[in-house]
Chains A and B, each alone.
Chain A
Amino acid sequence: MTRFAAGDRVQVLALCKEGHVRIPHYIRHQTGCVTEYCGTYLNPEDLAVGKTSGPAVDLYRVAFAQRQLWPDDVIPAQDTLVIEIYDHWLTPAQETDHAP
């Protein structure tokens, strides 16, 4: 049983992790919508320091409105960015101001 499913609104955490972190800064704190569960993968943060025994972590693809990521730009409302986020970087979104 995964923590999230397609359609769930999620927020990307800003974990203060150093080293080989695969969650770029531009997406941290942002709120988006899970589009797909990708399966479990060894955590690259562990692999980079030679820990190859796991545990494997859940990976999701999450879509974000480009307009929300870059609020100073004129961007068509329909444009999106989709990025892969590991489970431990996600939390359920707190917002209430979106359409169901």
Chain B
Amino acid sequence: MPHDHEHGEHEALIIEDEAGNIQAQVVVDALQRVLTAKGLLTAREVTAAIAKLESPGLHLGAKIIAKAWSDPEFKERLMADGRAAVQELDIPVTEARIIVVENTAQVHNLITCTLCSCYPRSILGQPPSWYISKAYRARSVREPCRVLEEFGLDLPRDMKLVVHDSNADMRYLVLPEPPLDFENHAASDLEAMISRDHLIGVARDVA
């Protein structure tokens, strides 16, 4: 069957051969064997590093947001210096700076990285695969309203949409608007209502 489309359309994130070997993994495995044989690395250190990479996640982001809703002074510090405020919660931040952008009744914020996949990984862990896709990276700046529609978010046309391209050293978190009755909820309930999509800005209302 002839090819009637560009190969770029379905470029795989991970390239496997027919036996299921991942190209990059073959190289990494060989390097790990050499380093282990020379006594420079142990398997335990490798699994510990993987665990550390995978331990951050949405739960940390949700904790930050719920705290900001319930503690106005913390919110003020978070907006002024995101990294320092997040570290108050015993979350070790490895990014140079965290910039928190606040959604209001008039403003909606959307985060992207057009050049690669910059993301506040020390807080939220690894980004979702769509965030890394070339389609999201291109379309989030080129036609953000249509992208948001595809996520089920129809912004009122008089609302200001601000797209943040995290192309360099800053990393971003969206501070969503709290639910109207947020004072009636325990912090743990609020945290459960917050999704990763809220913190990237492809979702808006927390309910």
Contact string, B120-164, partner A, CB cutoff 8 A, digits 1/0? 000000000000000000000111100000000000011011111
Closest to B96 in A: A41
- Residues in B with CB closer than 8 Å to A83 are 164-165, 167
Q: A73-B143, A82-B165, A83-B167 are in contact. List 16 more A-B contacts (CB 8 A).
A: A22-B167, A24-B114, A38-B97, A38-B170, A41-B96, A41-B168, A66-B144, A78-B160, A79-B160, A80-B161, A83-B164, A84-B165, A84-B166, A84-B167, A84-B170, A85-B168
Contact, CB under 8 Å: A79 / B167:
no
How many contacting A-B pairs (Cβ < 8 A)?
A: 69
Q: A80–B114 Cα gap in the complex (Å)?
A: 15
- On chain A, the number of residues with a Cβ less than 8 Å from chain B's Cβ atoms is 26
Q: Which residues of B contact A38 (CB under 8 A)?
A: 97, 169-170
CB–CB B169/A24 < 8 A: no
B96: chain A residues at CB < 8 Å are 39, 41
| B115 within 8 Å of A (CB atoms) | yes
Q: Provide the A58-77 mask, 1 if CB < 8 A to any CB of B, else 0.
A: 01010100100110010010
Q: Is the CB of A79 within 8 A of B168?
A: no
